[in-house]
Structure 1
Amino acid sequence: MKRSLLLAALLLGSTLSSAQAASGPITIVLPEEADLLEPCMATRSNIGRVIMQNVSETLTELDVRGDEGLMPRLATSWEETEPGNWRFHLREGVTFSDGTSFDAKDVEHSIERVMSDKNACESRRYFGGMTITPTVVDDNTIDVTVNPPQPILPLLLSLLTIVPEETPMEFVREPVGTGPYKLTEWTPGQRIVLTERDDYWGDKPDVTEATYLFRADPSVRAAMVQTGEADISPSISQIEATNPATDFSYLDSETVYLRIDHNIEPLNDVRIRKALNLAIDRDAFLGTLVPEGAILATAIVPPPTLGWNPDVKVFPYDPAEAKKLLEQAKADGVKVDTPITIIARSANFPNVTEIMEAIQAQLQEVGFNIDLKFVEVAEHEVYYSKPFKEGRGPQLVAAMHDNSKGDPSFSMFFKYDSKGTQSGFSDAKVDDLIARASAAANGDERAKLWSQLIAYLHDDVVADVLLFHMVGFSRVSERLDYTPTMATNSMLQLSEIKIK
């Protein structure tokens, strides 16, 4: 009897050890194709979900699973030696996926490349309004001077991907990075395959290979995980999220909104912008086309971002007042009958088509002449970012903005400053508040300035049609140990996935 119990215990121990050491390939099904795999574009969600921290790493990393705050990645430590100057100490023994060694010259080149006007790096927008000068101290040390001083520069650098110094300024098709995986296959429109590296500097991940597939329909993505054709779908709709064993919901860091182009009549009239906001019944979407747990938005950043202003109130649903404002503007000669186009990104989030069609109908009901146009992600960027097309008509660009970093600096300059790449207007007070808040080292003062900006943008400028801070739904195979986070929609780290 004792011998049988001992044998059983040994067998059980062997089984547990095997389970703990499980590794192998997985398949991930995404809603949008990756039009690029350029490292400096990894801040765009359809690209970052694939390569951010998997192929391309950053100097620092924000802990979104715990309370460690800003963590080392390719930099092991850093300190501000004087206002505006930071010294970063770099990890030794790191190699890129092409076999070359990582050192301070690679960091210098990566910063200069992102800030160069020879490309259209999306991550540059997070460093708007500042001049960044990297200076190599030695192979493992680099100074970064920023003007005006930025007290959260190490946090900002959590979005700057590092590439070899040999990388051209122009975009590359195949990324070379220091991450735990390398790109081994990319068939546009069909699949992307990342394979683990034997020479990665960090811990060996459970996932040996990841195949990315693309399906626009959220019900198809959910079904693929259910049948075992895929292991993870980071984005499914609330309707499909019915299995508590595999489905997760979480308040993510995405804000859905309509960016208003103030430069074109009639959108240059604040009465028109207010009417747009008053015409939409935001509450009617909650629990129907938008998940019940979503929060109505009053800012481009979600709570509890620093400076989020609880005193700013959501525009009420008041179609009568919207019609009144349109009539007043028309009486003053504003061309309120001009067709306005909503430009939306196909498969950007679950129910995007139905949500935009409902908004179109609500705007038409109060008297707006609204067209609706859906485009793929690459074309969407043409409408969303500068330089805007000459001769364009009035536009509302439907978008979903992610800020999981906890500070409005990751949103405000490029969204609202006069020189911001996605700003639809110019306002001197907005520019001043952004500059002062970004440079404020005192946390209370910084929060106060961001709070003032949020109120001014919403109540006085009426910058956008702010809609929802979204709830995300994911489906994860029961063979995996993985819980989505608020950052999952923009960054899906394979090294965090465990295989049972």
Structure 2
Amino acid sequence: MSFLLSRLRRTALAALAATLLAAPAPALAETSGDTLVVATMWEALPLSMKPRRSRFFNESEILDTLVKLDFEMNLIPGLATSWERPQPNTWRFALREGVTFHDGSPFDADAAKFSLERVIALLPYAADLLNITEIRAVSPQVLEIETSEPFAALPNQLTDAITGIYGKASFDAAGEFVSPVGTGPWKFADYRKQDRTIVERFDDYWGKAPSLKTIEYRYIPDHNARALALETGEVDFVVHLLPSDVARLSRDEAFKVHAEESAGVYYGAFNAGEKSVLSDARIRRAVNLLVDREIVVKGALDGIGNPAWTFFPAAFPWTNEDVTPHKVDPEAAAGLLRDAGYEKADGKWMKDGAPLTLRLLSYSSRAEMATITEALAILLQQQGIATEIQMFTWEGMLDLVKKGEYDVSVVFWTPEMTGHPDLHLKSQFHSRAGLNHQFWVNEEFDALVDKGRTLDPGPEALATYVRAQQILQEDAPIIPLVHKVYVAASRAGVEGFRVHPSGFFYNFKAVSKK
């Protein structure tokens, strides 16, 4: 244990020490009282719909969605005030009256129809998410959506950032995206490449107007520099903090640390295809039995996270105690490995004279990915499974994954984002899903998630998804590792911020500064 902890913390502690020695923090400078300056790890890129599926437009609330999620992940009205399903394949939405876009044009059913059709045309991912065959503007305040099959999950899917409602002025004459024009409390004002994105208060917002006038999103990709910017007064609010920074800022009364369970699971996706030894489910199950997630959380994240023994966390609405969690059981793992033809010699699992070796891939844009991947590797090595780690950009890792040139890819996913399991189970693990780069096929699982999306919430739907989750545990195409705890920090004078469990909604309209 001590070896693991010291090895994982070495890089973070060295960087922290260098920062503190080189630049002791002066007294806090002042930023404008009606402007909130936010340091982010990702560049907002407000002139494109495609990066990160345009989540910034939802995070910043430039755009509204028809349906929203409250802080308990319940569906609540957005631009739609109510919804019903008069026919199995038809949803009808009553739209909010008196809403205008940032350019002054009215929001109505025609505008909603135009936006959703543009999104589906420009972002292919949206087609499977929404399952739409036709959109009809029945009247100025009534929108009907026809789906290809009974689709109970549609209102939940309409909370996803990809479904934000764009005004027609967001697009040029050829229908290509230009810049975001929405109905939200903030309107896009300025973008300076590799520097900052600025949004301003929209005074004609349909809801309660924000108290702040401006939000400025500063792009600071370096993790240590981002925390230092808060300590020196350059910014008011910071997201994506290193565990060492969280501990230090928590001890300083000049700052507030905001930490809550939220959407997100770090997990290892197994290559179940023919190019990997993990095509054998016995080895996949054995790996799950050998990794102590408690150690991963403590060693890789200094305790900022929760051990993930299932894909969904316990608080997720569709989780059930009938889903059997993984556990640490080296003896059971050894039995599975022997059944798969391996024998342990000199502390290593061997077959035909070759050691069992797993190639672990991950990406470096999230600082925690390296330490989580290393923790997984060390724990497997301690149990006699050799590992090879390679870190890439996200795109570089994905290129290899799509080719099947890996054994485990350590990734991050946000499974609570819409409050419904369809988005996650079908888009990630269905054999025909575009995101299933694991080459995993389970016909029973496919049939269950295909059925689940047609069922209204109730006992049958719950039983269907519980069985699908159980198959995910038993056939083990993944190893869940850590459920995310969302952490941000602000100056002490920033008030009203609350972590949203979706992880993709700042709600700065409720924030003020002393």
TM over 0.5: yes
> Alpha carbons of 1:336 and 1:273: their partners in 2 closer, same or farther (altered >3 Å)?
farther
CA distance, structure 2, for counterparts of residue 442 and residue 203 of structure 1: 32
Partner of 1:398: 411
Alignment of 1:250-399 (within 5 A): 250-263=260-273, 264-290=275-301, 292=303, 294-318=305-329, 322=333, 325-326=336-337, 328-329=339-340, 340-348=358-366, 351-366=368-383, 368-377=385-394, 379=396, 388-389=402-403, 392-399=405-412
Which residue, out of 430, 434, 445, partners 1:430?
Answer: 445
Q: What is the SS of the residue equivalent to 2:380?
A: helix
Partner of 1:441: 456
Equivalent-residue separation in structure 2 for 1:98 and 1:292 (angstroms) = 47
Which residue matches 2:114?
A: 109
Tell me which of 26, 37, 59 is aligned to 1:27.
37
Shift of 1:246: 0.8
Counterpart of 2:493 (choices 471, 479, 489) is 479
Superimposed CA distance per residue, residues 62-92 of structure 1 (whole angstroms, 9 cap, x where no aligned partner): 111x68x322221222222222212112223
Query: What do the CA deviations read for 1:338-367 (whole angstroms, capped 9, x no partner)?
Result: 86443323243x533222122223334445
Q: CA deviation at 1:295?
A: 2.9
2-side partners of 1:53 and 1:33: how far apart?
A: 13
* Paired residue type of 1:310: E
Q: Which residue of 2 aligns with 1:85?
A: 90
The percent identity for this pair of structures is 23
What residue is the counterpart of 1:146 in the other structure? 147
- 1:126 aligned residue: 129
Which of 148, 163, 167 is the equivalent residue of 1:164?
167
| 1:124 Cα deviation from its structure 2 partner | 4.4
1:419 aligned to 2:432?
yes
How many angstroms apart in 2 are the aligned matches of 1:378 and 1:191? 23
Over 3 Å counting, the alpha-carbon distance change for 1:376 and 1:51 in structure 2 is farther
For residues 365 and 36 of structure 1, what CA distance do their matches in structure 2 show?
Answer: 46
SS in 2 for 1:93: coil
Segment drifting more, 143-152 vs 93-102:
93-102
Q: How many residues are matched?
A: 464
TM superposition score normalised by structure 2: 0.80
- What amino acid does structure 1 have at the position aligned with 2:281? V
Q: CA deviation at 1:157?
A: 1.0
Deviation of 1:179 (Å): 1.8
2: distance between equivalents of 1:377 and 1:176? 29
Cα separation, 1, equivalents of 2:391 and 2:62: 31
Instruction: Report the Cα distance in structure 2 between the residues aligned to 1:299 and 1:115, rounded to whole angstroms.
Output: 32
- What amino acid sits opposite 2:411 in the alignment? A
Cα distance in structure 2, aligned partners of 1:53 and 1:162:
14
Task: List aligned pairs for 1:207-246, cutoff 5 A.
Answer: 207-241=212-246, 242-243=250-251, 246=256
Aligned partner of 2:513 in structure 1 is 499
Q: Which string of whole-angstrom CA distances, capped at 9 and with x for unpartnered residues, describes residues 220-275 of structure 1?
A: 33332233211111332333232365112211121111122322322211122123
Superposed displacement of residue 379, structure 1: 4.9
For residue 224 of structure 1, give the secondary structure of its aligned residue in structure 2.
helix
Q: 1:36 to 1:368 in 2, by over 3 A?
A: farther
Q: Deviations over 1:283-335 (max 9, x none)?
A: 21233433536332233322222331324444334556656655654569899
- Match in the other structure for 2:198: 193
* Structure 1 pair 341–105 and aligned structure 2 pair: CA distance change class (3 A): farther
* Separation in structure 1 between the aligned mates of residue 139 and residue 399 of structure 2, nearest angstrom: 41
Please identify, of 269-278 and 53-62, the stretch whose mean Cα deviation from structure 2 is larger: 269-278
Report the Cα distance in structure 2 between the residues aligned to 1:381 and 1:103, rounded to whole angstroms. 40
Aligned residue for 1:202? Answer: 207
* CA 106–300 in structure 1, closer or farther in 2 if over 3 Å, else same: farther
1: distance between equivalents of 2:200 and 2:89?
39
Aligned partners of 1:29 and 1:355: how far apart in 2?
Answer: 24
Tell me how far apart the structure 1 counterparts of residues 412 and 314 of structure 2 sit (CA, whole Å): 19
With the length of structure 1 as denominator, give the TM-score of the two structures. 0.82
Task: Tell me: CA distance 1:282–1:173, structure 2 relative to 1, closer, same or farther (3 Å).
Answer: farther
Distance 1:218 1:110, change over 3 A: same
Q: Structure 2: state its 5+ residue gaps.
A: 1-31, 343-349
1:465-484 per-residue CA deviation (whole Å, 9 max, x = no partner) reads 11111222221212211333
> What is the alpha-carbon root mean square deviation over aligned residues?
3.3
Asked whether the 8 Å contact 2:310–2:326 carries over to 1, the reply is: no
Indicate if the aligned counterparts of 1:235 and 1:489 stay in contact, CA closer than 8 A: no
* Alpha-carbon contact 1:39-1:161 (below 8 Å) kept: no
